[in-house]
Amino acid sequence: MKAKGIPNVVKPTVGMEKVITYKVTEEALLAYLSVFGNGNIAHRSLGHASMVGKRRPAVPSSFFEGVVSFMVGNYLPGAGCRVLREARTVPGLAFPGDVLTVSAKVTAVDNDVAKIMVTIVDQHDELICSSDLDVRLPPVSMRSFPESLPKVRVRQIGAKFEALLGRATTLPSVVAVVAYPKDIEPIRGAMLAHDEGIATPIFVGDEEKIRTVASEHDVSLEGSRIVSVDGDERVACDIAVKLVRDYCDQGIPAILVKGSPKTATFVKAIIHKEDRAKGLATKAGGMLTHGLVMDIPSYPELIAMGDVAIVPHPDIKQKEAIARRLTALLRAVGVREVRAAFLAGSEGVSTAMPETSDAKMLEELTAEYCLGEGPLSLDLATSSVRAERKGFSSKIKSAANLLVFPTLAGGNFLYKGLEIFGDAMSAGVVFGADVPVVLVSRGDDAEAFLYSIALAQMLLGSGEYAKLA
């Protein structure tokens, strides 16, 4: 549909006036702060706002320059004008959610220059801003088309994980034993966890290599310990597992972190089939599953999912274990209402798609600890808009915060796609060992290690991991 646009005013007269309303949104404020690199935390944090005398984070005064520009550029005089001079005062404060009344009035006209007074008041009629402008008038009639501008969506990348980290700092710290770190990301991630006060890192591997890599990337190892190992990655993993066992025997909370070894080597050290007493899967019979939590900027809350890394084709028993463990993970990070979706290619049970039968059975099997629904396709599990279009009524309101996949491949494709194309962040842990185990992809960065360590620490500190034993 062709836009009509807003006609400009080529020959305004004294006393001509235009009044519009403008709602200050959180998204507009974040876009403004991001575009101009304004890092003043008083505009975003309640605590910092109160320190400078504001009852809540306020809009910066320079934001109103944009509101004034919106008025004169679109309405009076509109398209084709140019501001030559502006004297602006901002006696009041505005906040996200406020509805502003913006008034522009022509006070004088001299040939092709008009004097325009713009005032902005809030919904309580308190004066927020006034601007006295000299504006060169547009030479010809034309229209502005604000609706044709690119649609900009602000993504707060990692905001939900930052809140998670704040919760982690209130719980007891753990010893994080990092097996065979030879790349910078696990080293940096463990040290970030140390800096946040949630973990004390112990690196198990080639000491010279660890120190060299850290030095090359300006990462301080102060506060950590290195257990030097001359052998290969399996030797390092075995020693790391023994260290964790020893700490647990002493009553010291500890977790195991996969550094840079191959996943198969790492898992073999945990299970240790040759002598299970030397592994870390002594209590759970070696049934390992992987749980992931994702911070997706376009999704309103953290979402847990599994299995994406260990169990390729989970049976009904393993799917129930995955759901139970992911529920514990969400409880550990403070989620009160767990809404699980058991995914399949269709929302109806079909003999041609065995996973649909499993999904239906899981509704009953998980009823004691979460609100579950299945079978569900991904869109019906997570999008109320799509569910409404399809005429589907969901008992979890198409707002799942826990996804159980029918296969590892499907989950792996989704979470990596979200990271690559959707600016999502992930953190992952392995369940089924005697302690939580951090396992992230080789392609993940230091923040993934940091948040995964935080997940493992919160599982221990909240007591949720112990309940699974």
Indicate whether 46 pLDDT > 70: no
Q: Across the strands, what pairs with 341?
A: 373, 403
* Average pLDDT score, the chain: 92
DSSP class of residue 278?
Answer: G
Average pLDDT over residues 121-142: 96
Question: Which tens digit of pLDDT belongs to each residue from 249-295?
Answer: 999 999 999 999 999 999 999 998 888 888 898 764 558 999 999 99
What number of other Cβ atoms are within 10 A of residue 469's Cβ? 7
The tokens for 83 are 């501001």
pLDDT band at residue 1 under the 50/70/90 scheme: very low
Q: How many residues does the chain have?
A: 469
CA distance 262 to 244: 19
Task: Check residue 279 and give its pLDDT.
Answer: 87
Average pLDDT over residues 444-454: 95
Percentage with pLDDT > 90 across the chain? 79
Average pLDDT over residues 238-257: 96
Average pLDDT over residues 313-342: 96
Task: Check residue 161 and give its pLDDT.
Answer: 93
> By mean pLDDT, which of 140-154, 325-339, 367-381 is the weakest?
140-154
Q: Is the Cβ–Cβ distance between 179 and 269 less than 8 Å? A: yes
Q: Is the Cβ–Cβ distance between 420 and 405 less than 8 Å? A: no
Q: Across the strands, what pairs with 130?
A: 89, 119
The dihedral of CA 402, 407, 408, 412: what is its sign?
A: negative
Burial zone of 438 (CB within 10 Å; 0-12 exposed, 13-18 middle, 19+ buried): buried
Element (H, E) at 389: helix 384-389
Smallest CA-to-CA distance from 303 within 402, 155, 426, 204 is with 402
312 phi/psi in degrees, rounded to 5: -70, -40
What SS3 class is residue 212? helix
CA distance 293 to 308: 11
Question: Which tens digit of pLDDT belongs to each residue from 354-368?
Answer: 999 999 999 999 999
Task: Check residue 55 and give its pLDDT.
Answer: 59
Name residues whose C-beta falls within 8 Å of residue 282's C-beta, 6 or more positions apart in sequence: 276, 434
For the chain, what are the domain ranges? 6-148, 159-338+401-467
Average pLDDT over residues 11-28: 93
Task: Check residue 43 and give its pLDDT.
Answer: 76
Cα angle value 448/185/458 (rounded, 5°): 35
Cα 191 from chain centre: 21
pTM of the model: 0.79
The tokens for 443 are 């392609």
What would the CATH number be for the domain defined by 159-338+401-467? 3.40.718.10
Indicate whether 47 pLDDT > 60: no
Task: Check residue 53 and give its pLDDT.
Answer: 56
Percentage with pLDDT > 70 across the chain? 96
pLDDT band at residue 463 under the 50/70/90 scheme: very high
Indicate whether 12 pLDDT > 50: yes
Distances (CA, A) of 338 to 1, 323, 368, 370, 371: 43, 10, 11, 5, 6
DSSP class of residue 277?
Answer: G
Smallest CA-to-CA distance from 279 within 291, 263, 266 is with 266
What number of other Cβ atoms are within 10 A of residue 230's Cβ? 9
Indicate whether 68 pLDDT > 90: yes
Task: Check residue 287 and give its pLDDT.
Answer: 86
Q: Is the Cβ–Cβ distance between 55 and 88 less than 8 Å? A: no
> By mean pLDDT, which of 143-152, 198-207, 367-376 is the weakest?
143-152
Task: Check residue 3 and give its pLDDT.
Answer: 59
Burial zone of 213 (CB within 10 Å; 0-12 exposed, 13-18 middle, 19+ buried): buried
CA distance 19 to 17: 7
CATH architecture of the domain covering 6-148: Roll (3.10)
Task: Check residue 2 and give its pLDDT.
Answer: 57
Task: Give one word for 268, left, alpha or beta, with left for phi > 0 and alpha for psi -120 to 50.
Answer: alpha
Burial zone of 6 (CB within 10 Å; 0-12 exposed, 13-18 middle, 19+ buried): middle
Task: Check residue 45 and give its pLDDT.
Answer: 60
Indicate whether 141 pLDDT > 80: yes
Task: Check residue 54 and give its pLDDT.
Answer: 54
CA distance 43 to 2: 38
CA distance 333 to 114: 58
Q: Is the Cβ–Cβ distance between 292 and 456 less than 8 Å? A: no
pLDDT band at residue 30 under the 50/70/90 scheme: confident
